[in-house]
Structure 1
Amino acid sequence: MFSPLIYSPQPIYNVSLPSGGDPLKIDVNAQYAGLEWNYIYIVFCGFIVWLIIPGIGLLYSGLARRKSALALLFQSLMIVAVTTFQWMFWGYSLAYARDGGPFFGNLKNFGLKNVMAAPSPGSDVLPEIVFCFYQLLFCACTVMIVVGGAFERGNMLPSLVFSFCWATAVYCPVAYWTWNSNGWLYNLPSLDFAGGGPVHIASGWSALAYALVLGKRKHLDETTHGKPHNTTLVFLGTTLIWFGWFGFNGGSALNASVRAMLAAFNTNTAACMGVLGWVLVDSTKNRGKFSVVGACEGAIAGLVGITPAAGFVSVWLAAVIGFLTSIICAMLQDVNKWLRIDEGMDVFKLHGIGGMAGAFLTGIFASRSIAALDGATEAAGGIDGNGIQVGKQFAEICAISAYSFTVSVCLLVVMKWIPIPCMSLRVHEEAEMIGLDRTQFVDEQIGERAILDDLFASSSPASASVVVNESPGSVVGSKVLKG
């Protein structure tokens, strides 16, 4: 294989200078002379990946009932704050330390010690601080997906504590298995370009665990809810997620190669085919009627499905993966009812099931000629005659599913029995009925609740006034408001 950096000497990691050199004595930038375009590209990808986090917050907020919408917006900012601290504290070291066993990292980079100008463990053309920042955003996005399992009845403070613990006990080990050169899945090898396992399968099963331990919402009228309170927010959140995913998949080549550009093209292709697949199923079920929320779910299903395959398949096969993944997820719309679990954000359906479908299809469609577009990677799937790769993908699916679900349940059960009132995983029944916005934020007279309602209310002045002044049990006409 030829080097992707044929025109420039490739930086080499020096064990004796783990930080990349003393900037008071040498120019630490000199080793990347002529290669700056690689890390500029990855930094840009990181910036747009960040948009996925508020995008998920907007999506969740739109899907929830109005009385808990603000809580989900607030949580998106808190999650990225807590996860950043966790990553700086020990998360990065646990996931990407250069030496360790096949299952877990170590604390040699505790507190980001020596994480600065040396070539990164993921790519020699990236300073380690750039690689660390980019991977931080993957962790934050994943944690934000997970907390969707607690919507409308999860207490805010315990969810943040759980986020810190989950990132430590679940995300970091699974990321280590998958992407660290010492990890057992990396050396199996399983093929996961951008996070089908650590991001989607892990978050889907963990959100299911969260919903299971919390139990179903109380006083939920399924005839009036189960539908988003604000479709515009759902649409806006989806577009931010879609845009951010260009950086998520496009940057996962960890260089500005042709492979990275193809991954971005595949991302858009799979999302578009996901929309078509989901709308096809929806319109068939609903006698030709369409659904904006369904189209948004289809886009996300397509994005999830292509994540592990984006740098391994051609554009047309990316279209097949996006279409098939969305069809599978759309056909399983009642999975929560079958499981008898109240996971109202459909995290398990879209990310868990979609992630498993994408990982499996990657094993079938991965192509040597596509993987080699970065000048270095060797990988092949069933389409190239390497049928055993499908079995390796299945091993990845089973291992990550079992580990993430089991550890998440254990973490949540331990937290559930902590005898501290403010650490109760679930809000009180009265707070759930009133809504998280009114019980966990400043008094509505200060304006946050009223502002939210003004933005989300319909254009009718009458309906807007009803929203602002609603309270559980209030009677409007002959109907009782239920949120």
Structure 2
Amino acid sequence: FSEIRGKNPKHRMSTSQPQQLVAAGNVLAYPATNGGTPMFLETGYASTAFLLIMSALVFLMTPGLGLFYSGLSRSKNAVTLIMVCFLSMSIVTVQWVLFGFSLAFSESGSAFIGNFDYAGLTHFGASALSLTAPAVPRIIFATYQMKFASITPALIFGSVSERFRILPSMLFLPIWVTIVYCPVAYWTWSARGWLRNLSCLQSTVITSTPCGIGSYDFAGGGPVHITSGFAGLAYIIILGKGKVPASAQAPLAHDMSNVFLGTGLLWFGWFAFNGGSALAATPRAAMAAIVTTVSAASASMTWVAIEYVRRKKVSGIGFCSGVIAGLVCITPGSGFVAPWASIVFGIIGGLSCYASVHIKNYCGMDDTLDTFSVHGVGGILGSILTGIFAEKWVAMLDGTVISGGAINGNWIQLAFQLCGSTAIAIYSFGVSFAILYTINKIPRFHLRPNEADEFAGADITQMAEILYVTVPVGSSSFRPGSQEKSELPVLENVRIPI
């Protein structure tokens, strides 16, 4: 994703060579982005294997998100939340191959959106995206980026976890990825994207020559977290508050084991989410991985400490929420900041997201599982902190040359980060609101179930499947898989997983 400049003369090749892929054993040559000066980069089996593994690890994050959301919800909505995460994987995968990747990463588009040059991923093979990701074959780059696109819309449903309908969500998913995620990913990561070229935007638009000096976002603070957080806010406004009477509500988090398991899978996958964004097994990838886990650890301890001071209790939900807040906050800066700075990211991220959750509750905003409070707020905060703590030497671990952040005297970077995060937030909220409002007007595609179905729960009313069944203690009549299991009398509150 980053600007690559060849500094070592032995890595340069003659500029008289064609600006095309040149094979040299296990090494391929690509033009770099510094005025067309080429350099040699390893793009053989090692880089392909690295990103294949990273893609598989990031894939696990979406099921992990489903477990996390299902555990935090009431049991009557648990299956639905897992289902919508898996639907996101399937729907977005097809969209990504057909035209999503092309819109997000084609290299001959405008400053705002790609074109259909790579629609269907036709003629993909060993060749690379010479300006955007010159060090890896484009087919594995597309595969890796597919996992980012798959999890992003799934995050949105945490804001409305117990009051959305599955059918309209299946229509919402591909539309949202197409006109929100893909353009924002293009702005941020494509070689010609306007956020990536903020300092030379006018000349880039006129000459189509990118400079690569603009907003920093290593792994998706804007395209993934800010977009999903503010889309969740739009969803909240369209649907309104929950209608289940407070007196009838069970404790919201029904299964803490799912919450911890989901958190563990997300934390595990985030090593690949951030570390893999280096696109090669370099010291910069290792740096991104360590700052990721350090930020998560410091944010979780911060959240737990605040809750203990306020409630004199240690909360598992608080710990897991802190982990996610720290991971979100460090995402844009993971390839730019030093390990000591990631502790600051975690502490400030934990404090800010905790405060956001409580301000949200005070204002009466029904952000059910805190998607906006953690991902929206955390994504913006992480972008701003990246503008402060980005360091030249960290980026140079893989040969990338940057101007650094305020810590290196580059104060204009703060303006770039603020501009980028603000533009993404406004765009995502406005377009998401328009999409949801329009879908809600289509017959049979109303976004919210009626009050009776909402009270009964989405699992039984929308899927006719349940996660748990309540049976009499000592009953010999229960048979797992029986069609009559939901009709058994309730004598004791004993839950049997099925």
Q: TM-score, normalised by structure 1?
A: 0.87
Which residue of structure 2 lines up, in the alignment, with residue 139 of structure 1?
149
Percentage identity across aligned positions? 38
CA distance in 2, matches of 1:11, 1:275: 51
What's the counterpart of residue 435 of structure 1?
457
* Alignment equivalent of 1:391, drawn from 415, 418, 425: 415
Residue of structure 2 in register with 1:445 after alignment: none
Which residue in 1 is equivalent to 2:51? Answer: 42
* SS of match in other structure, 1:148: coil
CA distance in structure 2 between the partners assigned to 1:234 and 1:458 by the alignment: 25
Counting only pairs closer than 5 Å after superposition, residues 306-345 of structure 1 correspond to structure 2 as 306-345=330-369
Q: Please state how far the C-alpha of 1:36 moved relative to its aligned partner.
A: 2.4
- TM-aligned CA deviation for residue 148 of structure 1: 2.1
Q: CA deviation at 1:45?
A: 0.9
1:149 match: secondary structure: coil
- The 3 A distance-change label for structure 1 pair 196 and 461 is farther
The alpha-carbon deviation at position 232 of structure 1 amounts to 0.8
Residue 404 of structure 1 aligns with which residue? 428
User: Counterparts in 2 of 1:270-349, with a 5 A limit?
Assistant: 270-287=295-312, 289-349=313-373
Judge conservation of contact 1:4–1:257 (CA < 8 Å) in 2: no
1:459 deviates by 13
1:54 aligns with one of 63, 70, 91: 63
CA distance in 1, matches of 2:471, 2:262: 19
Is the aligned partner of 1:105 residue 2:129? Answer: no
C-alpha separation in 1, matches of 2:300 and 2:233: 24
Task: Tell me the C-alpha RMSD between the 2 structures.
Answer: 2.9
Alignment partner for residue 184 of structure 1, among 181, 194, 203?
194
Moved more, 3-12 or 270-279: 3-12
Post-superposition offset of 1:99? 1.0
Structure 1, residues 331-374: CA drift from partner, whole Å, max 9, x if none? Answer: 22223334433220100011001111111111111111111111
How has the CA–CA distance of structure 1 residues 9 and 119 changed in structure 2, closer, same or farther, with 3 Å as cutoff? Answer: farther
1:84 aligns with 2:93: yes
For residues 99-248 of structure 1, the aligned pairs below 5 Å read: 99-120=108-129, 121-188=131-198, 189-221=214-246, 224-225=249-250, 227-248=252-273
- Residues 107 and 130 (structure 1), Cα distance of their counterparts in 2 relative to 1, 3 Å cut: same
After TM superposition, give the deviation of residue 4 of structure 1 in Å. Answer: 8.9
CA drift of 1:115 comes to 2.8
Identify if the C-alpha distance between structure 1 residues 223 and 284 changes in structure 2 by more than 3 Å, giving closer, same or farther.
Answer: farther
Q: Deviations over 1:299-346 (max 9, x none)?
A: 000000100011111101011101110111112222333443322010
Q: AA paired with 2:447?
A: L
Q: Take 1:46 and 1:253, find their aligned partners in 2: how far apart are those partners?
A: 13
Structure 1 pair 6–114 and aligned structure 2 pair: CA distance change class (3 A): farther
1:426 correspondence with 2:448? yes
Matched letter for residue 453 of structure 1: Y
Pairwise CA distance, 1:141 = 1.2
Q: Does 1:359 align with 2:386?
A: no
Structure 2: gaps (5+ residues): 29-40, 199-213, 479-483, 493-498
Contact 1:10 1:124 in 2 (8 A): no
Residue in structure 1 matching 2:406, options 352, 359, 382: 382
| Residue 496 of structure 2: aligned partner | none
Match of 2:201 in 1: none
Residues 333 and 8 from structure 1, CA distance in 2 versus in 1: closer, same or farther, beyond 3 angstroms?
A: same
Look up the match of 2:204: none
Secondary structure in 2 matching 1:184 = coil
- Whether the aligned pair in 2 keeps the contact of 1:11 and 1:125 (CA below 8 Å) is no
Size of the alignment, in residue pairs? Answer: 452
What's 2:84 paired with? 75
Alpha-carbon distance between aligned partners in 1 of 2:43 and 2:124, rounded to the nearest angstrom? 22
Q: What secondary structure is seen at the aligned counterpart in 2 of 1:186?
A: coil
2:246 counterpart SS class: coil
State the distance in 1 between where 2:42 and 2:329 align: 37
Among candidates 283, 308, 321, match of residue 258 of structure 1: 283
Contact 2:386 2:405 in 1 (8 A): yes
Deviation of 1:211 after TM superposition, in Å, equals 1.6
How far does residue 220 in structure 1 lie from its aligned partner after superposition? 3.6
Q: CA deviation at 1:29?
A: 7.4
Do 2:43 and 2:135's aligned partners in 1 also have CA atoms closer than 8 Å?
Answer: no
Tell me the distance in 2 between the aligned counterparts of 1:273 and 1:469. Answer: 45
> Which residue identity lines up with residue 265 of structure 1 in the other structure?
I
- The SS at the match of 2:442 is coil
Give the corresponding residue for 2:374. Answer: 350
CA contact (8 A) 2:107 2:132 kept: no
Instruction: Point out the more displaced range, 330-339 or 399-408.
Output: 330-339
CA contact (8 A) 2:153 2:228 kept: yes
C-alpha separation in 1, matches of 2:449 and 2:462: 10
Query: Matches of 2:91 and 2:459 in 1, distance apart?
Result: 21
**Residue deviations 1:240-288 (CA, integer Å, cap 9, x gap):** 000000000001111211111100011111110011110111111102x
Distance 1:2 1:356, change over 3 A: closer
Q: Is the 8 A contact 1:8 1:34 kept in 2?
A: no
Q: Secondary structure at the match of 1:333?
A: helix
Q: Is the 8 A contact 2:471 2:490 kept in 1?
A: no
Shift of 1:379: 3.5
AA of the residue aligned to 1:296: C
Q: Name the CA shift for 1:4/1:124 in 2 (closer, same or farther; >3 Å).
A: farther
Separation in structure 1 between the aligned mates of residue 472 and residue 356 of structure 2, nearest angstrom: 35
Larger deviation, residues 342-351 vs 108-117:
108-117
Q: How many angstroms apart in 1 are the aligned matches of 2:284 and 2:394?
A: 7
Contact 1:155/1:425 (<8 A) preserved: yes
Given that 1:176 and 1:183 are in contact with CA atoms closer than 8 Å, whether structure 2 keeps it comes out as yes
Is this contact kept in 1: 2:302–2:347, CA < 8 A?
Answer: yes
Native 8 Å contact 2:472 2:491 kept in 1 = no
Alignment partners' CA distance in 1, 2:472 and 2:263: 23
- Alpha-carbon shift at residue 224 of structure 1 (Å): 4.1
Are positions 1:453 and 2:468 aligned together?
yes
Task: Give yes or no for contact 1:371–1:379 (8 Å, CA) kept in 2.
Answer: no
